[in-house]
Amino acid sequence: MDCILLGTGGMMPMPYRLLSSMAVRLNGKIYLFDAGEGTQLGWKRAGLGFKGPRVIAVTHLHADHCLGIPGLMMLRSQTDQPDPLTIVGPPGIEDFIGHNRRILDFYLNYPVYFREWSEHGSEVAYQDDLIRLFWQPVKHTRFCLGYRLEELERPGKFDIRRAESLSIPQGPLWGRLQRGETIVNEAGQTVRPDQVLGPPRRGRHVAYVVDTRPTQSIYRLCKEADIAFLEGMYLPEDASHAEAKGHMTVEDGARIAGRAGVQRAVLIHISPRYNDEDLVRMEAAAKQRFDGAGMGRDQDIYTVPAGG
Protein backbone atom coordinates (compact mmCIF):
# COMPACT_ATOMS: atom_id res chain seq x y z
CA MET A 1 0.00 0.00 0.00
CA ASP A 2 1.31 3.44 -0.99
CA CYS A 3 -0.01 6.78 0.24
CA ILE A 4 0.91 9.55 -2.20
CA LEU A 5 0.63 13.24 -1.35
CA LEU A 6 -0.51 15.08 -4.48
CA GLY A 7 -0.56 18.32 -2.52
CA THR A 8 -0.13 19.53 1.06
CA GLY A 9 -1.40 23.13 1.09
CA GLY A 10 -4.53 24.83 2.29
CA MET A 11 -6.73 27.68 1.04
CA MET A 12 -5.02 28.30 -2.33
CA PRO A 13 -2.54 26.51 -4.60
CA MET A 14 0.93 28.01 -4.50
CA PRO A 15 3.77 27.73 -7.05
CA TYR A 16 5.65 25.53 -4.60
CA ARG A 17 2.74 23.72 -2.91
CA LEU A 18 -0.50 22.35 -4.36
CA LEU A 19 -3.70 21.96 -2.38
CA SER A 20 -4.04 19.01 -0.02
CA SER A 21 -4.97 15.76 -1.72
CA MET A 22 -3.85 12.22 -0.94
CA ALA A 23 -4.08 9.04 -3.03
CA VAL A 24 -3.99 5.53 -1.56
CA ARG A 25 -2.77 2.95 -4.07
CA LEU A 26 -3.57 -0.67 -3.26
CA ASN A 27 -3.33 -3.63 -5.66
CA GLY A 28 -3.44 -1.26 -8.63
CA LYS A 29 -6.57 0.58 -7.43
CA ILE A 30 -6.55 4.20 -6.25
CA TYR A 31 -8.65 5.86 -3.56
CA LEU A 32 -8.42 9.66 -3.58
CA PHE A 33 -9.06 12.02 -0.68
CA ASP A 34 -10.02 15.58 -1.67
CA ALA A 35 -9.35 17.23 -5.01
CA GLY A 36 -9.02 21.00 -4.99
CA GLU A 37 -7.97 23.32 -7.78
CA GLY A 38 -4.87 21.98 -9.53
CA THR A 39 -5.08 18.40 -8.27
CA GLN A 40 -4.63 17.19 -11.85
CA LEU A 41 -1.09 18.60 -11.73
CA GLY A 42 -0.24 16.55 -8.66
CA TRP A 43 -1.90 13.51 -10.21
CA LYS A 44 0.20 13.76 -13.37
CA ARG A 45 3.43 14.47 -11.48
CA ALA A 46 2.83 11.30 -9.47
CA GLY A 47 2.42 9.30 -12.69
CA LEU A 48 -0.90 7.80 -11.65
CA GLY A 49 -2.16 7.35 -15.22
CA PHE A 50 -5.46 8.15 -16.90
CA LYS A 51 -7.72 5.51 -15.39
CA GLY A 52 -8.33 7.68 -12.36
CA PRO A 53 -9.45 6.75 -8.87
CA ARG A 54 -11.98 4.12 -7.94
CA VAL A 55 -13.32 6.43 -5.22
CA ILE A 56 -13.07 10.15 -4.42
CA ALA A 57 -13.74 10.93 -0.75
CA VAL A 58 -14.53 14.62 -0.21
CA THR A 59 -14.18 16.15 3.23
CA HIS A 60 -16.31 19.26 2.66
CA LEU A 61 -17.60 21.76 0.14
CA HIS A 62 -14.95 24.42 0.35
CA ALA A 63 -13.30 25.27 -2.96
CA ASP A 64 -9.83 24.10 -1.97
CA HIS A 65 -11.17 20.56 -1.46
CA CYS A 66 -13.52 19.98 -4.39
CA LEU A 67 -12.91 22.31 -7.37
CA GLY A 68 -10.51 19.81 -8.97
CA ILE A 69 -13.05 16.99 -9.23
CA PRO A 70 -14.62 17.94 -12.60
CA GLY A 71 -11.18 18.08 -14.25
CA LEU A 72 -10.25 14.64 -12.89
CA MET A 73 -13.56 13.27 -14.15
CA MET A 74 -12.91 14.65 -17.64
CA LEU A 75 -9.36 13.27 -17.60
CA ARG A 76 -10.76 9.83 -16.82
CA SER A 77 -13.02 10.00 -19.88
CA GLN A 78 -9.96 9.96 -22.14
CA THR A 79 -9.57 6.20 -21.57
CA ASP A 80 -11.59 3.42 -23.15
CA GLN A 81 -14.14 1.74 -20.91
CA PRO A 82 -13.03 3.18 -17.55
CA ASP A 83 -14.38 1.60 -14.40
CA PRO A 84 -17.28 3.19 -12.50
CA LEU A 85 -16.45 6.06 -10.13
CA THR A 86 -17.91 6.50 -6.65
CA ILE A 87 -17.89 9.90 -4.97
CA VAL A 88 -18.60 10.07 -1.24
CA GLY A 89 -18.89 13.23 0.78
CA PRO A 90 -21.09 15.72 2.61
CA PRO A 91 -24.67 16.57 1.66
CA GLY A 92 -24.59 18.64 -1.52
CA ILE A 93 -21.67 16.90 -3.24
CA GLU A 94 -23.95 15.30 -5.84
CA ASP A 95 -25.57 18.67 -6.63
CA PHE A 96 -22.14 20.29 -6.92
CA ILE A 97 -20.93 17.74 -9.45
CA GLY A 98 -24.28 17.66 -11.26
CA HIS A 99 -24.39 21.46 -11.73
CA ASN A 100 -20.80 21.53 -13.00
CA ARG A 101 -21.49 18.74 -15.45
CA ARG A 102 -24.63 20.41 -16.82
CA ILE A 103 -23.06 23.86 -17.14
CA LEU A 104 -19.77 22.65 -18.61
CA ASP A 105 -21.51 19.91 -20.62
CA PHE A 106 -18.53 17.58 -20.28
CA TYR A 107 -18.50 14.05 -21.65
CA LEU A 108 -18.40 10.99 -19.38
CA ASN A 109 -18.14 7.40 -20.63
CA TYR A 110 -18.56 5.68 -17.25
CA PRO A 111 -21.18 5.56 -14.48
CA VAL A 112 -20.78 7.79 -11.43
CA TYR A 113 -22.31 6.85 -8.08
CA PHE A 114 -22.76 9.16 -5.10
CA ARG A 115 -23.01 8.53 -1.39
CA GLU A 116 -23.73 11.51 0.86
CA TRP A 117 -23.38 11.58 4.63
CA SER A 118 -26.61 11.17 6.58
CA GLU A 119 -26.96 11.51 10.33
CA HIS A 120 -29.01 8.32 10.38
CA GLY A 121 -26.88 6.42 7.85
CA SER A 122 -24.09 3.90 8.22
CA GLU A 123 -20.64 4.73 9.56
CA VAL A 124 -19.32 2.93 6.48
CA ALA A 125 -19.14 5.31 3.52
CA TYR A 126 -18.00 2.71 0.99
CA GLN A 127 -16.78 -0.87 0.72
CA ASP A 128 -15.38 -3.02 -2.08
CA ASP A 129 -13.26 -6.16 -2.43
CA LEU A 130 -10.17 -4.44 -0.97
CA ILE A 131 -11.14 -1.81 1.58
CA ARG A 132 -13.77 -0.44 3.90
CA LEU A 133 -14.06 3.36 4.21
CA PHE A 134 -15.44 4.96 7.38
CA TRP A 135 -16.49 8.58 7.88
CA GLN A 136 -17.17 10.80 10.88
CA PRO A 137 -18.12 14.50 11.14
CA VAL A 138 -15.37 16.75 12.49
CA LYS A 139 -15.47 20.39 13.66
CA HIS A 140 -15.00 23.08 11.02
CA THR A 141 -16.72 26.33 10.01
CA ARG A 142 -19.06 24.28 7.83
CA PHE A 143 -20.00 20.61 7.80
CA CYS A 144 -16.86 18.54 7.28
CA LEU A 145 -15.98 14.84 7.32
CA GLY A 146 -12.90 12.90 8.33
CA TYR A 147 -12.13 9.46 6.89
CA ARG A 148 -10.55 6.17 7.87
CA LEU A 149 -9.62 3.62 5.20
CA GLU A 150 -9.22 0.05 6.40
CA GLU A 151 -7.84 -2.69 4.20
CA LEU A 152 -9.97 -5.82 4.61
CA GLU A 153 -8.48 -8.64 6.65
CA ARG A 154 -5.98 -10.68 4.70
CA PRO A 155 -5.87 -14.50 4.76
CA GLY A 156 -3.70 -16.07 7.44
CA LYS A 157 -0.24 -17.44 6.73
CA PHE A 158 -0.15 -20.54 4.57
CA ASP A 159 1.25 -23.57 6.40
CA ILE A 160 3.37 -25.37 3.80
CA ARG A 161 4.13 -28.37 6.00
CA ARG A 162 0.48 -28.84 6.82
CA ALA A 163 -0.43 -28.66 3.13
CA GLU A 164 2.19 -31.28 2.23
CA SER A 165 0.96 -33.56 5.01
CA LEU A 166 -2.54 -33.33 3.50
CA SER A 167 -1.24 -34.48 0.08
CA ILE A 168 -1.68 -31.09 -1.59
CA PRO A 169 1.08 -30.53 -4.16
CA GLN A 170 2.55 -27.10 -4.69
CA GLY A 171 0.71 -25.32 -7.49
CA PRO A 172 -2.79 -24.01 -8.28
CA LEU A 173 -4.43 -25.81 -5.34
CA TRP A 174 -2.32 -23.78 -2.90
CA GLY A 175 -3.53 -20.58 -4.50
CA ARG A 176 -7.16 -21.68 -4.35
CA LEU A 177 -6.86 -22.43 -0.64
CA GLN A 178 -5.26 -19.03 -0.03
CA ARG A 179 -8.21 -17.44 -1.81
CA GLY A 180 -10.58 -19.15 0.60
CA GLU A 181 -11.72 -22.00 -1.64
CA THR A 182 -12.26 -25.60 -0.52
CA ILE A 183 -10.38 -28.12 -2.67
CA VAL A 184 -10.01 -31.88 -3.18
CA ASN A 185 -6.49 -33.30 -2.68
CA GLU A 186 -4.73 -36.07 -4.58
CA ALA A 187 -6.27 -38.69 -2.27
CA GLY A 188 -9.78 -37.46 -3.08
CA GLN A 189 -10.23 -35.85 0.33
CA THR A 190 -11.87 -32.45 0.85
CA VAL A 191 -9.56 -29.83 2.39
CA ARG A 192 -10.85 -26.57 3.81
CA PRO A 193 -8.81 -23.32 3.88
CA ASP A 194 -8.82 -23.23 7.69
CA GLN A 195 -6.87 -26.52 7.70
CA VAL A 196 -3.81 -24.87 6.11
CA LEU A 197 -4.18 -21.17 6.95
CA GLY A 198 -3.44 -19.36 10.19
CA PRO A 199 -5.80 -16.76 11.68
CA PRO A 200 -6.76 -13.80 9.45
CA ARG A 201 -4.26 -10.92 9.46
CA ARG A 202 -5.20 -7.33 10.16
CA GLY A 203 -5.29 -5.05 7.15
CA ARG A 204 -3.56 -1.68 7.00
CA HIS A 205 -5.38 1.40 8.32
CA VAL A 206 -5.05 4.98 7.05
CA ALA A 207 -6.74 8.12 8.44
CA TYR A 208 -7.31 11.40 6.59
CA VAL A 209 -8.54 14.35 8.67
CA VAL A 210 -8.19 18.01 7.68
CA ASP A 211 -10.03 21.31 8.25
CA THR A 212 -11.08 20.81 11.83
CA ARG A 213 -10.59 21.90 15.38
CA PRO A 214 -9.58 19.20 17.89
CA THR A 215 -12.62 17.03 18.53
CA GLN A 216 -13.36 13.55 19.84
CA SER A 217 -14.26 12.02 16.48
CA ILE A 218 -10.67 12.52 15.25
CA TYR A 219 -9.45 10.10 17.90
CA ARG A 220 -11.89 7.45 16.68
CA LEU A 221 -10.81 7.92 13.09
CA CYS A 222 -7.12 7.75 13.99
CA LYS A 223 -7.17 5.03 16.65
CA GLU A 224 -4.09 2.81 16.16
CA ALA A 225 -3.86 3.70 12.47
CA ASP A 226 -0.70 2.70 10.63
CA ILE A 227 -0.50 6.23 9.25
CA ALA A 228 -2.63 9.34 9.69
CA PHE A 229 -2.71 12.41 7.45
CA LEU A 230 -3.77 15.19 9.77
CA GLU A 231 -4.13 18.91 9.54
CA GLY A 232 -1.17 20.93 10.78
CA MET A 233 -2.05 24.29 9.30
CA TYR A 234 -0.37 26.69 11.71
CA LEU A 235 2.63 27.10 13.96
CA PRO A 236 1.78 27.17 17.69
CA GLU A 237 2.34 30.96 17.86
CA ASP A 238 -0.46 31.39 15.30
CA ALA A 239 -2.98 29.35 17.29
CA SER A 240 -5.43 32.27 17.41
CA HIS A 241 -5.84 32.01 13.62
CA ALA A 242 -6.45 28.26 13.88
CA GLU A 243 -9.14 28.74 16.50
CA ALA A 244 -10.88 31.55 14.63
CA LYS A 245 -10.92 29.74 11.28
CA GLY A 246 -11.68 26.18 12.42
CA HIS A 247 -8.24 24.62 11.94
CA MET A 248 -5.45 22.95 13.94
CA THR A 249 -1.86 23.81 14.69
CA VAL A 250 0.97 21.33 14.19
CA GLU A 251 0.94 20.76 17.96
CA ASP A 252 -2.78 19.93 17.88
CA GLY A 253 -2.39 17.37 15.11
CA ALA A 254 0.68 15.75 16.63
CA ARG A 255 -0.85 15.54 20.10
CA ILE A 256 -4.01 13.84 18.79
CA ALA A 257 -1.95 11.37 16.74
CA GLY A 258 0.14 10.41 19.75
CA ARG A 259 -2.84 9.95 22.04
CA ALA A 260 -4.72 7.94 19.40
CA GLY A 261 -1.88 5.43 19.10
CA VAL A 262 -1.02 6.28 15.50
CA GLN A 263 2.18 4.69 14.21
CA ARG A 264 3.07 7.66 12.03
CA ALA A 265 1.48 11.09 11.53
CA VAL A 266 1.92 13.28 8.46
CA LEU A 267 0.81 16.89 8.90
CA ILE A 268 -0.68 18.61 5.87
CA HIS A 269 -3.08 21.41 4.82
CA ILE A 270 -0.35 23.96 5.47
CA SER A 271 -1.22 27.66 5.48
CA PRO A 272 0.07 29.65 2.46
CA ARG A 273 1.66 32.07 4.94
CA TYR A 274 4.47 29.52 5.40
CA ASN A 275 7.10 28.69 2.82
CA ASP A 276 9.10 25.47 2.61
CA GLU A 277 11.79 26.86 4.92
CA ASP A 278 9.17 27.18 7.67
CA LEU A 279 8.42 23.46 7.53
CA VAL A 280 11.54 22.74 9.58
CA ARG A 281 10.19 24.82 12.48
CA MET A 282 6.74 23.30 12.07
CA GLU A 283 8.11 19.76 12.20
CA ALA A 284 10.22 20.54 15.27
CA ALA A 285 7.13 21.88 17.06
CA ALA A 286 5.12 18.78 16.12
CA LYS A 287 7.80 16.39 17.36
CA GLN A 288 7.68 18.07 20.76
CA ARG A 289 4.22 16.52 21.08
CA PHE A 290 4.71 13.25 19.16
CA ASP A 291 8.01 11.99 17.82
CA GLY A 292 6.26 10.03 15.08
CA ALA A 293 4.94 13.23 13.48
CA GLY A 294 6.41 14.97 10.46
CA MET A 295 5.45 17.53 7.84
CA GLY A 296 4.19 16.29 4.50
CA ARG A 297 5.58 17.62 1.24
CA ASP A 298 4.09 17.43 -2.24
CA GLN A 299 4.82 14.14 -4.00
CA ASP A 300 5.99 12.39 -0.84
CA ILE A 301 5.19 8.67 -0.96
CA TYR A 302 4.61 6.67 2.23
CA THR A 303 4.71 2.90 1.83
CA VAL A 304 2.70 1.03 4.46
CA PRO A 305 4.02 -2.55 4.62
CA ALA A 306 1.72 -5.49 5.18
CA GLY A 307 2.09 -6.78 8.70
CA GLY A 308 2.24 -10.39 9.80
Which residues make Cβ contacts (< 8 Å) with residue 140, sequence separation at least 6? 60, 211, 212, 213, 246, 247
> Is the sign of the CA dihedral 35, 37, 40, 42 positive or negative?
negative
End-to-end CA distance of the chain: 14
H helical segments located in the chain: 39-45, 63-66, 69-76, 93-104, 160-165, 172-178, 216-222, 239-245, 250-259, 279-289
- Checking DSSP bridges between strand 112-116 and strand 85-89, what pairing results, if any? parallel
Strand spans (E) along the chain = 2-7, 21-26, 29-33, 55-57, 85-89, 112-116, 124-127, 131-137, 145-151, 183-184, 190-191, 205-209, 227-231, 265-268, 293-295, 301-303
Residue 64 falls in the annotated catalytic set: yes
**Marked catalytic residue, from 64, 211, 252, 298:** 64
Cα separation of 83 and 130, whole Å? 15
Q: Minimal CA–CA distance to 238: which of 248, 228, 224, 225?
A: 248
Sign for the CA dihedral angle at 127, 83, 87, 111 comes to: negative
CA-nearest of 16, 15, 9 to 34 is: 9
* Catalytic residue IDs: 64
